[in-house]
Amino acid sequence: MVSTHFDDGVLSCANLIAATSSVVVTVFSEGPTTPGKISDWDRACGFSVGDDVMAARTAEDAAALAILGATPASLGFTEYRSAIPLWSRALIARGIRFALNRRGSGELTRRITDDLADRVRQLDAATCAFPLGIYHYDHRLTTLACLNVARQRPDIRWLVYEDMPYAIESRQRRVLALRRIQAAGFSLEQLTLNEQLDAVRKREAVACYASQLQGLRGRFELALTSPERYHLLTRRAASATQ
């Protein structure tokens, strides 16, 4: 199971994680190291200058996954929303959009792809789930890297889960994310998984992300009250010859 940030996997597919005793690999598990500074998002989550933000989030994630019987792992990349000041995001966003439009050929995407491929090989995974990449550049970069690994490892069963709460908040962004994966040469078949739904257990796990929930405010309730959505990823035969 691949999660973009510490909370994304549990918000989006806690029941699948619990049913499969997953190893949950978080891609963006580090924050900026510049002392005396804090991002707008971290401030909204209740942190102050000097707080060890990522240590707190790592502990939250470990507690949440323990409730679900899963194992945490991380790749150690620095998350976009924490690393970039608000005033410079518009400029940086243009560069990231350029890299995304080049189908993930940027240096950061290559590094994530290589590290994910190594981790998947180490885990000897037969099935791997990753986010649809509906919103935020971190999510889209994670999806691109996972698609790259999926091309390398057709022997693995690849599942795509819809990022919550974004899949519910914006139908348009959800449709665009689905189209991006199809444009990359893949097909998606919506799945209804038979894992036992446990709303109480999911709520307990989500509650462990106290800082993230403070930043999300009431939006996390969308993830708790909406069904988890999954798709089976397959590579189209025509794209294999390109």
For 1-56, the pLDDT digits (tens) are: 999 999 999 999 999 999 988 899 999 998 766 656 777 888 889 988 888 888 99
53 or 100, higher pLDDT: 53
Whole-number pLDDT of residue 106: 81
Whole-number pLDDT of residue 113: 96
Contact by Cβ (8 Å): 42, 53: yes
For 165-202, the pLDDT digits (tens) are: 999 999 999 999 999 999 999 999 999 876 667 889 99
Whole-number pLDDT of residue 16: 93
Helices (H), the chain: 8-20, 40-44, 53-68, 80-83, 89-101, 107-123, 137-152, 166-169, 171-183, 199-207, 210-216, 220-225, 237-240
* Mean pLDDT along residues 101-106: 53
How is residue 194 annotated by DSSP? -
Contact by Cβ (8 Å): 139, 4: yes
* Residue 60 predicted with pLDDT over 70: yes
For 194-226, the pLDDT digits (tens) are: 666 788 999 999 999 999 889 888 888 989 999
Whole-number pLDDT of residue 239: 43
Domain 2-240 has CATH 3.40.50.10320: yes
* Mean pLDDT along residues 53-67: 94
Whole-number pLDDT of residue 103: 47
Give which of 180, 169, 163, 182 is closest to 228, Cα–Cα. Answer: 163
Q: How far apart are the C-alpha atoms of 8 and 14, rounded to whole Å? A: 9
Instruction: With cut-offs at 50, 70 and 90, classify the pLDDT of residue 98.
Output: very low
- Per the prediction, the chain carries an average pLDDT of 86
Whole-number pLDDT of residue 80: 59
